Amino acid sequence: MSRITIYHNPRCGTSRNTLALLRERGIEPEVVEYLRSPPDRQTLLALIAATGRPAIDLVRSKEPLFAELGLDAPGVSDAQLVDAMLQHPILINRPIVATPLGARLCRPAEQVLEILPTQDA
């Protein structure tokens, strides 16, 4: 991940704020509207790995589809969550920002600051 990429939903205020925060710092990221162009399995797995968090942390558990699919049941595996996110991108939480320093679910938007390269680097 040599570039900075934001997996963005323009209808989400936090996603818009994160994008604005990047642009305020002079960064023009690659913007992926993930509902229109969902990540493939390899990309999604790489994003999850880069966050250092379990897959459940990148799932929109408040989305009604989460419960409808039974993803709130005990014992649901990361593989099942990834399959659900691939089939139903609305389940992917946002925004996710990936930089050479890692990836973060940027809720709140300021979490993006943890993974931005320093200006003198």
Question: If you average pLDDT over every residue of the chain, what do you get?
Answer: 94
- Report pLDDT for 121: 44
CA triplet 58, 104, 20: central angle to 5 degrees?
A: 110
The pLDDT score that the predictor gives to residue 119 is 60
pLDDT at 85 over 50: yes
Q: What is the pTM of this model?
A: 0.92
Q: Are 85 and 91 in contact (CB under 8 A)?
A: yes
Q: Is the pLDDT of residue 8 over 80?
A: yes
Our answer to whether residue 106 is catalytic in this structure is no
Query: Which CATH number applies to 5-115?
Result: 3.40.30.10
pLDDT, tens only, 20-68 = 999 999 999 999 999 999 999 999 999 999 999 999 999 999 999 999 9
3, 8, 11, 12: the active-site residue: 12
**Residue 117's pLDDT band (cuts 50, 70, 90):** confident
Dist CA 117 CA 119 (whole Å):
6
The helices-and-strands tally (H runs, E runs) of the chain is: 4, 4
Is residue 15 within 8 A of residue 94, CB to CB? The reply is yes
Residues 60-89 have a mean pLDDT of 97
Quick one: average pLDDT of 82-90? Answer: 98
Rounded (10°) CA dihedral 57, 51, 48, 73 = -20
